[in-house]
């Protein structure tokens, strides 16, 4: 992975600070923004099957990377504004899920019950 | 920030590997999952104003942290499956946005034109 | 209201039939499409406050109308494919909500507890 | 179809009026609500394939109907607050799409290009 998340956070902080944009970043607006960008990722997979979704043409893959970048930027900013460590939050969810889906029970479970959350 | 993203990726890889769940993680399903969890973050801000959204009660803040964790987990897994470095993707978007929103023009722009993407 | 929903359904059926597009309208893809279009409505309100959102400029209002139209088209098609009467579904939810939020209790409830669903 | 949309609108108006809830229904909050409920529809199709999504178990189908009802309720209310006729909006989109996707060109088009919007 290219950079650590902390470096990215610093780059983003500077970008926002220079433009005086933090004033518009209410948690409500940022939550809305994460969702808007998440839908833009989905748009690239709107009509293909699950199987086909593995084989994106190169230019589409680049667009998906852009939207993934957008989601992460807004998610980082939401964590910043709410003082939530997003990596710790994700790590805590995996711990919770280990309990919820013990390996002995989780292996071979039907697709209807597969969840990372 | 608690851990690097690379460590989190490793923890997540193991969790999924142990349960043999990668088979269900088509990019299409993962894109859908990022969006589903993004909506769960939004739900905590559905009826409050932007101002009020800064002052979440403690138990709500913990729930929001959970959903943020979920979004990041699915976003990481989507990047893993598509072989997209999500930090590089976010960093590239900030570079693009620096060009798109030069500081001299961006400062003082009306709220209708503020975008991180 | 301009037309009944049944007339619209008929117009939509013909449009899809002529192009032989029903084959792509799996419930999963249609659910994804409703969500994609819902996010496009949200995009018009991404950075404004709740108060400001009442005063959309004319051209924005026209764009919002377009996205609302898209959501309804996909929702109708999803109902068609799953054989779900969407008006009956909405009516049933209001009945459920009448029980859940009796008037004596609902009036004056804090904004955090206002739900139509 | 069970009721006309106009009747449903009337029922919804009364429900909201009795509880004095219109004050919370800013267009921004309603747009957010449509998206939140759209994600709840998606959740029922998160891990299945497109083919499997046609065969929902009965109890799941009832839950999907509930979420479809929720989306329609919020969409109606958003139209009400913005004074947008949602049926006319949908009808206008179909007209636009007829031009955009003439039958001769639309038939047999690859799944990547199928759009109702």
Per-residue pLDDT tens digits for C40-51 = 999 999 999 999
Per residue in B92-107, pLDDT tens? Answer: 999 999 999 888 877 6
* Chain A residues within 8 A of C46 when measuring between CB atoms: 29, 32-33, 36
**Are the beta carbons of D51 and C74 closer than 8 angstroms?**
no
Q: B50, C49: Cβ pair inside 8 Å?
A: yes
Average pLDDT over residues A41-59: 95
User: Per mean pLDDT, which range of B12-21, C79-88, D103-112 is the poorest?
Assistant: D103-112
Mean pLDDT of chain B: 90
Crossing angle (nearest 10°) for helices A58-82 and B58-82: 160
Distance in angstroms (rounded) separating the CA atoms of residues D38 and B71? 17
Q: Does B90 touch chain D (CB under 8 A)?
A: no
Q: Does A87 touch chain C (CB under 8 A)?
A: no
Q: Is the pLDDT of residue B71 over 80?
A: yes
Q: Is the pLDDT of residue A86 over 70?
A: yes
Average pLDDT over residues B53-77: 96
Secondary structure of chain C in the HEC alphabet? CCCCHHHHHHHHHHHHHHHCCHHHCCHHHHHHHHHHHHHHHHHCCCCCCCCHHHCCCHHHHHHHHHHHHHHHHHHHHHHHHHCCCHHHHHHHHHHHHHHHCCHHHHCCCCHHHCCCC
Q: Is the pLDDT of residue D103 over 60?
A: yes
* Chain D residues within 8 A of B46 when measuring between CB atoms: 29, 32-33, 36
Q: Does A43 touch chain C (CB under 8 A)?
A: yes
Cβ atoms within 10 Å of D108's Cβ, excluding its own:
8
Q: Is the pLDDT of residue C105 over 90?
A: no
> What per-residue confidence (pLDDT) applies to A112?
44
> What per-residue confidence (pLDDT) applies to B39?
98
Confidence of residue D104 (pLDDT cuts 50, 70, 90): confident
Q: How many CB pairs under 8 A join A and C?
A: 31
Q: Does B40 touch chain D (CB under 8 A)?
A: yes
Q: What chain C residue is nearest to A30 in terms of C-alpha separation?
A: C46
* Chain A residues within 8 A of B107 when measuring between CB atoms: 18-20
Task: Write the residue in D31, D91, D98 that is nearest to C8 by C-beta.
Answer: D91
**Are the beta carbons of B34 and C32 closer than 8 angstroms?**
no
**pTM over cut 0.80:** yes
Q: Does B2 touch chain A (CB under 8 A)?
A: yes
Q: First vs last Cα of chain B: how many Å apart?
A: 23
Q: B50, C50: Cβ pair inside 8 Å?
A: yes
Q: D90, C78: Cβ pair inside 8 Å?
A: no
Q: What is the dihedral of CA A71, A76, A82, A83, to 10 degrees?
A: 160
């Amino acid at each position: 992975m290219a950079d650590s998340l902390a470096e990215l956070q610093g780059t983003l902080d500077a970008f926002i600070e220079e433009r005086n944009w933090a004033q518009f970043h209410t948690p409500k607006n940022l939550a809305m923004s994460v969702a808007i960008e998440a839908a833009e990722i989905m748009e690239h997979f709107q009509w293909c099957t699950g199987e086909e979704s593995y084989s994106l043409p190169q230019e589409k893959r680049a667009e998906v990377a852009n939207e993934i970048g957008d989601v992460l930027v807004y998610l980082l900013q939401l964590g910043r504004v709410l003082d939530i460590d997003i990596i710790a939050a994700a790590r805590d969810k995996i711990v919770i899920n280990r309990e919820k889906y013990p390996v002995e029970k989780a292996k071979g479970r039907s697709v209807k019950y597969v969840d990372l959350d």
